[in-house]
Amino acid sequence: MTQTRMPTVLQVIPALDAGGAERGCVDVALALARAGGTAIVASEGGRLAGELERGGARHVTLPLASKNPRTMWANAARLADLIAETGADVIHARSRAPAWSALRAARRTGAHFVTTYHGVYNARGPLKRLYNSVMARGERVVAISDFVAAHVRATYPFAADRIVTIPRGIDIARFSPASVTEVRKVRLLEQWGLLDDPRKILFLPGRLTRWKGQAVMIEAAALLRARRDDFVCVIAGDAQGRDAYESELGRMVRERGLEHFVKLPGHLVDISAGYALCDIAISASIEPEAFGRVPVEAQAMERPVIATAHGGAAETVIDGVTGFLVPPGDAKALAAGLDACLDLGPRYRAEMGARGRAHVQDTYTVGRMCASYIEVYKSLCD
């Protein structure tokens, strides 16, 4: 019998403040609502909850960020009641603690259970491995990259035939060169102190944390400085309380005499303008990212990318076509890649950027991601 109506889907996530999982949750809920389905999200709330309500989805506030076993048990009953109230066909978990509650609720009610594996969760012992395993127990286990899918297969072989890869998607209208006005560019150049500076801009965005590779970038800048002086590197991001690491980066810049060549402007509000201003975007993560938004966003903004060759970036960047891949943690290789890319000249970099945007439009859009999730929901209900 053919399913004639769009499904009712309840997504569960700890909170709705910021992050790739949260953004994806909201995007899928709004797309489902636009397609005629019923979209519900349960979380502790946050700044994105209002966007859900305005877009035709429903938000229900529940203490789903808690890892307290008693609260998680109580949440299972709350979610089962919510499934009964709304007639939800599918309950979709995007994080481990609420996933345990959702799994129990699904078993009580007969709702279909879907999970999204958003990262490579650490498992230093059997108890943590068991705790993480809930994300592999969905009737469909969505991996956000082939890298994550391979990890799930290796760690939880029992889930191998239920894994579906759906890459994260970005808003290519927001991440478009045409969307960034000259006023926004000038404002950001003023903030960076580069308004009348003719040098090429190398741009590494992201929160300041060691595994993102900012220290490697500073070492690479020192090596690049020995070859040329026509660049400035902007490492933009919020320390989010990591004050010692932020101070360490500043000290590295001073000790290497790079005050004129490396900027650490702190939190960046207008990341699209940052991409629009740069000549080369950089993702220098020394640990593999499950997906990694920077290489995809930069390609959408028609900027060549230099990224480390592991994790999601090894899938999203086409080496030599839309950017270049270098070994992780290797400052010499990063400096050499930047030097070579700068030597290609503006015309070739523009051609590489155009190929990058076409690549993102073909593979990594919000529309494609949402359509794939809706097909997963429908396939279960059918």
Q: How would you list the strands of the sheet with 38-43, edge to edge?
A: 58-61, 38-43, 8-12, 90-93, 112-117, 140-143, 163-165
Tens-digit pLDDT profile for residues 128-141:
999 999 999 999 99
Domains of the chain, CATH where assigned: 8-169+365-381 (3.40.50.2000), 177-363 (3.40.50.2000)
pLDDT at 338 over 50: yes
Based on the number of CB atoms within 10 Å of its own CB, is 10 exposed (0-12), middle (13-18) or buried (19 or more)?
buried
The answer to whether the beta carbons of residues 225 and 233 sit under 8 Å apart is no
Distance from chain centroid for Cα 129:
24
Those residues whose C-beta lies under 8 Å from the C-beta of residue 347, and which sit 6 or more positions away, are: none
Other Cβ atoms closer than 10 A to 180: 20
CA dihedral in degrees (296, 299, 301, 305; nearest 10)? 110
Query: What does the alpha-carbon distance between residue 377 and residue 7 come to, in Å, rounded to a whole number?
Result: 7
Tens-digit pLDDT profile for residues 199-245:
999 999 998 999 999 999 999 999 999 999 999 999 998 887 889 99
* pLDDT reported for residue 33: 96
> What share of the chain in percent tops pLDDT 90?
88
| For helices 331-343 and 214-225, angle between their N-to-C axes, nearest 10 degrees | 60
**Residue of 50, 13, 58 lying closest to 32 (CA atoms):** 58
Tens-digit pLDDT profile for residues 159-199:
999 999 999 999 999 999 999 999 999 999 999 999 999 99
* pLDDT reported for residue 191: 95
pLDDT at 95 over 70: yes
pLDDT at 3 over 90: no
> Model confidence at 1, in pLDDT bands (50, 70, 90)?
very low
Query: What does the alpha-carbon distance between residue 274 and residue 363 come to, in Å, rounded to a whole number?
Result: 23
pLDDT at 2 over 80: no
Query: What does the alpha-carbon distance between residue 45 and residue 164 come to, in Å, rounded to a whole number?
Result: 28
Those residues whose C-beta lies under 8 Å from the C-beta of residue 67, and which sit 6 or more positions away, are: 97
Q: How would you list the strands of the sheet with 200-205, edge to edge?
A: 262-266, 231-236, 200-205, 280-283, 305-308, 323-326
278 HSE (CA, 13 A, CB side): 31
**Residue of 40, 60, 41, 47 lying closest to 18 (CA atoms):** 47
Terminal alpha carbon distance of the chain: 8
Query: What does the alpha-carbon distance between residue 17 and residue 370 come to, in Å, rounded to a whole number?
Result: 20
Helix (H, G, I), strand (E, B) or coil at 296: helix
> Model confidence at 4, in pLDDT bands (50, 70, 90)?
low
> Model confidence at 102, in pLDDT bands (50, 70, 90)?
very high
Query: What does the alpha-carbon distance between residue 145 and residue 149 come to, in Å, rounded to a whole number?
Result: 6
Dig out the tokens for 170 from the structure.
């970005």
**Residue of 43, 40, 42 lying closest to 86 (CA atoms):** 40
Query: What does the alpha-carbon distance between residue 169 and residue 186 come to, in Å, rounded to a whole number?
Result: 29
pTM of the predicted model as reported, rounded to 2 decimal places? 0.89
Q: Tell how strand 323-326 and strand 262-266 pair up.
A: unpaired
**57 backbone dihedrals φ, ψ, rounded to 5°:** -100, 170
Buried b (16+ CB within 10 A) or exposed e, 136-162: bbbebbbbbbebbbebbbebbeebeeb
